[in-house]
Structure 1
Amino acid sequence: MIIPRVLVLYEYSAVGLPHGSAYIRLLQPLTHPSISGRFYVTPSPVYYGQAAEIVVVDRCWRPDCTAQMAAALVADLRRNAAKLVYQIDDDLLALPGDDPAAQAKREIVATFLREADGVIVSTPALRARYAAHTARVVVVANALDERLLVQAEIALPAVTQRVVLGYMGTHTHDADLLLLLSALTELAHTTDTELELQIVGGLAKPETLARISQLPFPVTHLTPPAIEYPQFLPWFTGNVRWDIALAPLADTPFNRAKSDIKFLDYAALGAPGVYSDLPVYAATVRHGQTGLLAANDTASWVKAIRSLIEQPDLRRELAANARRYLYSERILAVRATAWADALEAIWRG
C-alpha cells in the first residue's frame, strides 16, 4: 500500500506566520491523530521541488504571490507529477475593491482554480460559486481541533445586574460590528441591566473604534497573549467569559459564502450566541435550541439580545446545546477523516 506524501503550502503573513485559516483548514486537520498513517504530511511556506504525490496550496499562498508566480508553481508541480489540490475558504473572487492588491488576489485565485486537480472548500455556497471555474469541488466543513479547546464550565443561570456581551472577529469585520450600534444603544437605554461589551479583534479602522467607544456602557478590548491560532484558541476558550456572544454579519456577496466558524468558536466558549439570520448561520444554528437568529435590523437584534438578558435559563440551555452539537459533530476527532477522504479521492482521480 502506497502512503502518499502531502506537501502543504500554507498561506502565511508578511512575518512568516501561518494564517489562522491555514491552521483551521489544513495544519490541524492533516496532522490530527485520527488520520495518522494515511499520509506523510509536510507543511512548508515555500516550494523548492520537494518530493510529494499531493501538493495542497492554501488560498493565496505567499504574501508576495502574483498570478505569474502561481502559474510558475503549477508548471513546477506538473513537471514533478504532483497532484495539485487547492484549498480556499472564502469567495476571494468576490473580494471587494478595485485596488491592485484585491485584483491580484482575484487573479491568483482564478489561476489555482483553473489549474487544480481538485478544489476543497468550506461551504456549499463556495462549491456553487466555484463550480464554473473548476471541474472538481469538494466541500469539507470547518471543525475545531479538540486538542486546543479548554472546556470551561458553562455558567449557572443567575439573575444579575450585569451582563457581559462579547464579539470576536478578525480585523476585516468593522462593518459587521457596526451593524449592532443602534441595537446596543437602544438596549442600554431600555434595560435596567448593566451592560459591558468585550471585543476580541474586530476593529481595523480608527473611526470604528471611535463609534464603538461612544456606546453608553463600558467597552473593553481583550488582547490575547499570542496571535498564532494554536495559542489563541486555548486562551480564548480558557479565559474569556461572556454571558451573550454576538455574531453580526453584513449581507454581502463576499459574506454569503462564509462558514459558520464563529458559531463553533462560541459553542466552544460555552456562550449562547445571537447570529445574523443569513444562510451562513441559518444552515447550522437551530433557532431557540443552539442559538438565536436575528435579521439584520435594529428591532430584531434588540429582541434577541433582550430575550437572553432576561432569561438566564435560556442562555444556559442554548450554550449547553451548542457545545453538545460541537463535540458530537464538529470537532476533528469526528471530522478529520473527511479531509483524508477528500485528498485521497482527488489523488486517485
Structure 2
Amino acid sequence: MAEPARLVILHEGDNPTLGYFGVSIESMYAQLSVLRVDISRNPEDFQLAWGDVVVIMRYLNNAWYRKLQKCKPCLAGLIYFMDDDLLDSSAMVGLPINYVRKLKQKALRYRGWIKRYCSGLWVGANMLAEKYADLEPKLLNPSPPTFYLTRSKPVYVAYHGSTSHRDEIIWLYDVMAPVLKYGSNIYMEIFGDSYVSRLYRDLPHVSVIQAMSWPNYFAYTSSRRVDLFLVPLISKSFNRGRSYTKFFDSARLGAAGLYSCVAPYKDFVDNKKDGLLLSNEKQLWVDAILSLSENSGQREYLANNCKLRAASLIKKSYSDNILRQKNAS
C-alpha cells in the first residue's frame, strides 16, 4: 500500500456532518494536505493521485463508486465515516419514507462494498463504535471551527410582493444570490408560492412565506422586525399605476427601504433621508444591501426618518379628512 500523501474528503454539499466532523477527520492526518471534494462533481474531472487517503463522508454515488473501485490500488487508505447508523436497514424503521429512500440509495446499498474494501471505519457516536466493534472503528468527537460558537447580529431583509410581482421576484434572485453568498449574517424573507420556493430554494438563509390575507399581513408586519425592506419595481405600464403604499409597510416594519427609482417612488422618497432610491441595475442593489447590512447607523437613520414621515403623512391625511367633513356639513 502506498504511503499517505494527501487527504481527500468526499462529501455531499455543505452539510452538518462536514461542519461538525470535518476538522476531526482532518486531524487524523494532520501532516497531510487536505482536499474536500463534493460528490456532485463529475469524478472524471478529478484526478486521484498515488498515496491519496480518501474518506467517504456518509454518502456515495455510482459515479464515485466506480472511480474509487478503479483507483483503489493507488490509494494509501479508503475510509468510511458515518455519524448515523447508515449500514443497518433495521435502524431506519420509523424514519420518513423519503429520508429512508435517500439513505438506502446513497449509503446502505454500498454496505457490502464498504465492509469489504474500506481499510477503516470511523464513527461519530459511542453506540456506533460498540455496534460495529467487529470492524474495529475509530470514534471521532465533533470538533467544529471556533466560529460555530460565535453569534453575529443578523440582518433581516424582506421582499413582500404579491404574485403580480413575478418579474420583480425573478429579477431579485440575481441580486440576492451574491448578497447571501457574501453576507453570512443576512437573512431574507420573501412572499411567494411553490414557484418562488423552487426558484430560491438553493439560496442560503431564505424563508419563503405563503401569501396571507390583509388582516393577517397587517398583524404579521406589525409584530415583525425587518432591517432592510426591498421595493424593486420593473418599469412597465401596470407598475406605473401603483401608489407608494410600500413606504408605509417599511415604516411599520421599522426598516430602511430600498426603492426602484421609478414611479411612484422616484418623486416621493426623499433619497438618502427616508429611503434609498436605486436604478434597476442589479449590482447597485447588491452593493447597497451589503453596505447597509454593515452600517446599522445608516439603517436606523433611514428607518427613523421613514417612520417620522409616514406618521406625519397619516396625521395630515387625518386632519384633511376632518376639515373636509366640516366643510361638507
Tell me which structure has the larger Cα radius of gyration: 2
Q: TM-score, normalised by structure 2?
A: 0.49
Greater relative contact order: 1 or 2 (C-alpha under 8 angstroms, separation 6 or more)? 1
Q: TM-score, normalised by structure 1?
A: 0.46
Which has the larger share of helix? 2
